[in-house]
Structure 1
Amino acid sequence: MDKLERYRDLIKKILTEYYEWASNAPQDGVEDCLAFDENRDHYFWFNIGWDGKRRVQGLIVYLRIREGKIWIEEDWTKQGIANDLLAAGVPHQDIVLGFHHPSKRPFTEFAIA
């Protein structure tokens, strides 16, 4: 299996595990959703619905694969998706913390772009 396919499968596996975990504690009126666009390599976990009269919509995790690296664009998990990727064998240099400003990325242990 080539690196791109491996990363696609890994991202889907990790996000599905989080989604299934979140489904064990559902919130009335709010639905967790997964969306995978393998043609453009964008992967989302988000929620949408209503909490009483208040509209709920939020992006929990947004990952994309760009130029052979996994870009973490949004991550509201407690543990951090980067830790899951590292534990699964993705090297530091293949993970970009896209939610950090480019000027701050050199101070992380991950790729800058």
Structure 2
Amino acid sequence: MDKLIEYPKLMKQILSEYLELCNRRPNRDIKTFLIVDEPKGHYIWMNLGWQKGDRIAGMTVYVRIRDSKFWIEEDWTEDGIAADLVRAGVPKEDIVLAFHEPKMRQYTDFAVAS
């Protein structure tokens, strides 16, 4: 697998599927969208809008592709984007749970990259 070609496609596919699920039951007041900066390897699932008078502005998922690895910076999905990547055939050593402090990553089943 050519990671430079396949990894960006895979990330867009996974996040697009999540957004499709969100849009099946749309909330008129909250927009859900995908922000992609493919040349720099940034993939963000964003929510923006209003709910009961409160501003909603936040990332559900933020993944970077860096050094031929997926760096999961933010992940508020139920099962985790890492699980989706593993199911798609990505080796665990190519997935960094970057939301964990670097010294704690050694206790996960995933890459320890710092």
Q: Which range, TM-score by smaller chain?
A: over 0.9
Report SS of the residue matched to 1:78.
coil
Residue 30 (str. 1) matches residue 62 (str. 2): no
Cα deviation 1:40-75 (Å, max 9, x = unaligned): 000000100111421111100000101110000000
Alpha-carbon deviation of 1:26? Answer: 1.5
Which stretches of structure 1, 4 residues or more, deviate above 3 A after TM superposition? none
- C-alpha RMSD of the superposition: 1.0
Q: Distance in 2 between matches of 1:10 and 1:67?
A: 16
- Structure 1, gaps ≥5 residues long: none
Q: Distance in 1 between matches of 2:24 and 2:58?
A: 18
Partner of 2:75: 75
Alpha-carbon deviation of 1:4? Answer: 1.3
Query: 1:61-72 residue pairs with structure 2 within 5 A?
Result: 61-72=61-72
Q: Distance in 2 between matches of 1:49 and 1:81?
A: 24
TM-score by length of 2: 0.95
Q: Percent identity?
A: 51
Of the structure 1 ranges 39-48 and 21-30, higher mean CA displacement relative to structure 2 is found in 21-30
Q: Distance in 2 between matches of 1:109 and 1:79?
A: 15
> Given residue 49 of structure 1, which amino acid in structure 2 is its aligned partner?
G
Report SS of the residue matched to 1:57.
strand
Report SS of the residue matched to 2:31.
strand
What is the total number of aligned residue pairs between the two structures?
Answer: 113
Q: Are the counterparts in 2 of residues 64 and 73 from structure 1 also a CA contact under 8 Å? A: yes
Cα deviation 1:14-43 (Å, max 9, x = unaligned): 000000001112123100010110110000
TM-score by length of 1: 0.96
Q: Distance in 2 between matches of 1:87 and 1:2?
A: 18
